[in-house]
Amino acid sequence: MRDVAVLVLPGVAPFELGIACELFGLDRAADGVPNFDFALTTEVPGQVRTTVGFTVGVEHGLERLATADLVVTTPVPLQSRASPAVVEALRAAHERGAQFLSCCGGVFVLGDAGLLDGLRCTTHWRYTGLLEERFPAAVVDRDVLYVDDGPVISSAGSAAAIDAGLHLLRRELGAAAVGKVARRMVVPPHRDGGQAQFIPNPVLPAQACADDDLAALHAWALEHLAEDLSVERLAAHARMSPRTLARRFADASGTSPAAWVARMRLQRAQELLETTDLPVDAVAVAVGWGSGAVLRHHFSRLGTTPLAYRRTFAGTS
């Protein structure tokens, strides 16, 4: 991989464009890292307006994609669609074997060209549902920082494009070269976990539930997370049968009582890891999971561990 072309379309997001330029456009020969033949491309060469108003001068047209080993797509407004000329150029690059790297919402441009059909991919957690809706033939992974599936590497939200780009460079140039690039960028060469750990906690059902009886039960359960919260105990507290509780829970919360309790315990554990110095085992006890091993099992849903989560988010709340 020596020739890199970044597709810059109207409404481009400057942060992700900057990541592409930083990863592939800088001269790092002094560090022993090979340089790339790097260029920005667009449908109509000239000044391209970014999403925040300033413009970027782009000299090359779509013909530049015809020689690129790597085509990088950057985010554009989600309501826009790739033009027939862009679609044709991307498909031609795909047919001759080019590699593609999408930064955050840039994956939608690849989808418009039909390049996601049958492939795993991802994007920012806010837009994974839209990605699934718009391109039902794609297999969307909501939790990861990036996906490498054959000709397409797609990244999750914003800075995850750095992770995806470093992964590609590691594959092409090796770990030593990536270490030098990451050191110069002052970023880790590899980040643990997935983007699930960055998704804001939902509003607690105790604050949002339209079923008054269940809202009261939610509030009580949140005050007693360290205790036994089996379906039987919850039902007894709510003065319902377990079967009735399960039905009303599904209607009001869209989930089962056990799944809701697990989600609330995980949410409380995140909060404690962010805001206290409690040992992992103590956090597990405080949220009702009893041991650090059980807590680590549940944190695997976030693609990380309690200690890694604390290192990332402690003091950010």
% of the chain beyond a pLDDT of 70: 91
H-helix segments, 113-230: 128-134, 160-173, 175-185, 205-208, 212-222
Interval 136-145 mean pLDDT:
90
More confident residue, 147 or 208: 147
Q: What is the DSSP-derived secondary structure letter of residue 197?
A: G
- How far is it, in rounded angstroms, from Cα 317 to Cα 307? 16
- The chain-wide mean pLDDT, for the chain, equals 89
Strongest mean pLDDT among 64-78, 201-215, 245-259: 64-78
Instruction: Provide the β-strand partners of residue 100.
Output: 71, 152
- How far is it, in rounded angstroms, from Cα 282 to Cα 280? 5
Go through 22-37 and write b for each residue having 16 or more CB atoms within 10 A of its CB, e for each that does not. bbbebeeeeeebeebe
H-helix segments, 30-127: 84-95, 107-112
Using the predicted structure, report yes or no on whether residue 138 has a pLDDT greater than 60. yes
Q: What is the pTM assigned to this prediction?
A: 0.67
pLDDT in tens, 166-183: 989 988 888 778 888 988
pLDDT in tens, 234-286: 999 989 999 999 888 887 766 788 988 988 898 889 889 888 999 999 999 99
What's the pLDDT at 219? 84
CATH 1.10.10.60 holds for 205-313: yes
- CATH fold, domain 3-197, is Rossmann fold (3.40.50)
Report domain extents, the chain.
3-197, 205-313
